[in-house]
A and B are shown apart, each in its own frame.
Chain A
């Protein structure tokens, strides 16, 4: 075995998986995991841990994997993370833990993400569950939103002995893990449901169908329901559109709508009542992870799919692995291309999209080279569906109904990075509601920091 190379992970063949919603990556088995774990140098001063937003003792758990003590490895990870099966799948390890791995200087970094996933999956398959603490604090905390920030915050507080209730607006807990990330990247009934069950096993109550800010306000949670602190992890749910002509035509969707129909409402499964358009040719506008998810979903539903992005491949915000998978499956990338108008037929349906070619100019505020229009480069893409994946912003539902809770110009709740403290006493916040659309693991990091902040506030 070449110690510079990582143990390859098994995946479904691209031509097969392009037609199903089964998980793309099959993960390591125990032998493979132990082999890969042996590549870890167990650094005394591990850089990988510094790259992890929740500071998992990475060499600590990998040591146990190498020795074949998977249950112990799970205990190590669980001390830090409530959602290891999720993180092992969707964290951008290549820019976090694995980016700092010493092995990566000369060769492949250790596959930390795939090892984490293996440990979490093994624990699930072997029925290992976290246990609630014996000592209770006798204090109540409300957590708003059951996405990665909320689940992490709730899990950490429950471990400390608080009585935690999560309020979820939708009919299933999980937030973006259930409505946003597709089945083929993050299986719902096994992986997500188990992680949610594990948080419940710690004693956390989850109340679905509660829209905080509408049926019940934060002040009512304090004054009428006796909560001692509140964490807001309500995410960044509002989709953005381009503002170009034709955007309200039939067949133009936000990525949120398209993915929610397929993921949360299971439109891909015919036994569910949810309708979803059946498309022949789809353009997904945008280049982030959500755009890749929407594109690969449309492909699996039987369409030819183009990703239309105004910058070049180098600037694609999506994870390299996602872009790679998308290409393997046959997604066509129309880079340096910007839509200017959606063309609509006489019945109000999309028939095409007028685009212009772009080239990269001087760097802009984000440090990326600014795309500028190439003169006379206009052309029309014939299409029947357009999916806008341009990012999301926080929902003002809570901030607009909570006196004393300040937001910034982007409608993000203002909160301290170190402990999630907001401008309202006893109210903490974290995740996309504070940062705007970001990653699962950053939201988890914020949920963790806020749990610590809340514990200090209530002690």
Chain B
């Protein structure tokens, strides 16, 4: 059993929880994910790690309550327990194993969309801890859906907020913001790490391919075990079949077959579920629970 030690409502329906899981906290790195199973009859829900505290043995997760499983998860309170909490799963961010001199030379831009800000945060924080200053775009539909802005400002050199309706920061989506930075403000980047709804990652990659900037994305397809056993999370990367859980979740975004990945994320969605999703426009763990996920 894994105790919830902190619960914060970050934005409408978006929650952060700290969970006591010493083994996970001890071995995890930015880029990796965990699987949460709330109770005996629940699903195994993959969620990217948002932060960790090795001394206290806690791991932070962030989720948006849209599907039945995440809505149920939102009802858990501090002091209550998840039945299962497994991880870290997947590979750590490639940045972590890069030679420090090379990494420090690189100009890096993180692009975080919606709840995707949560998995971006530990990477930016880690970069800061090794003395690398990076830029970060946080995008969402409106100001109420922007999360972790203050936290990000403490660890990134520059934070650019972009909202579709202009209610916070730049008016436009993350792609408009990238264009603004690169084409109008004369910024140049060697690498972009984009994490968010699958549709956002697809369009960021189309743009960055044009701009000639290498782009890493973090895929979060439907999964069952998360250890390579079931193959539910397979996707096509550069013409090869890869398992997001063991080969990823991060891949070269210019090689990912996003259209196939989007179709696969619909596998267990019902008509009603999709309708509800459209209404709530959730962009949480895009597909893991089989109900909530990426856009149509």
Contacts and interface: CB of A to CB of B under 8 A. Distances in A.
Interface in B210-238: 224-225, 227-232, 234-236
Contacts of B241: 241, 243, 247-248
A171 B226 CA distance: 12
B202 to A, nearest CB: 15
Interface string A257-288: 10011000110000111110100000000000
B86 A260 contact: no
Contacts of B37: 171
B224 A260 contact: yes
A34 to B, nearest CB: 39
B228 A397 contact: yes
B184 to A, nearest CB: 38
Contact of A211 (B83, B87, B234): B87
A426 interface: no
A243 B240 CA distance: 10
Interface string A291-329: 000000000000000000000000000000000000000
A438 interface: no
A348 B264 contact: yes
A214 B263 contact: no
B41 interface: yes
Contacts of B102: none
Contacts of B224: 257, 260-261, 265
Contact of B43 (A239, A265, A277, A397): A265
B228 A266 contact: no
Contacts of B26: 215-216
Contacts, number: 111
A144 to B, nearest CB: 12
B14 to A, nearest CB: 21
A347 interface: yes
Nearest to A266: B41
A428 interface: no
B88 A215 contact: yes
Given A237-B229, A266-B41, A348 B263 contact: yes
A260 B245 CA distance: 16
Contacts of B23: 210, 215-216
B286 to A, nearest CB: 16
B290 A250 contact: no
Contacts of A210: 23, 86
A260 B27 CA distance: 27
Nearest to B229: A237
A248 B260 contact: yes
B267 A277 contact: yes
Nearest to B23: A215
B119 to A, nearest CB: 17
A1 B44 CA distance: 53
A395 B228 contact: yes
B234 A248 contact: yes
Contacts of A439: none
B147 interface: no
Interface of A: 169-171, 179, 208-211, 214-216, 237-239, 241, 243, 247-248, 250-251, 253-254, 256-257, 260-261, 265-266, 271-275, 277, 347-348, 395, 397
14 contacts: A169-B86, A170-B86, A171-B83, A211-B86, A238-B229, A250-B267, A256-B229, A257-B230, A260-B224, A260-B229, A261-B224, A271-B41, A348-B263, A395-B227
* A-B residue pairs, 8 tightest by C-beta: A348-B263, A257-B230, A215-B27, A275-B268, A171-B84, A237-B229, A254-B231, A215-B23
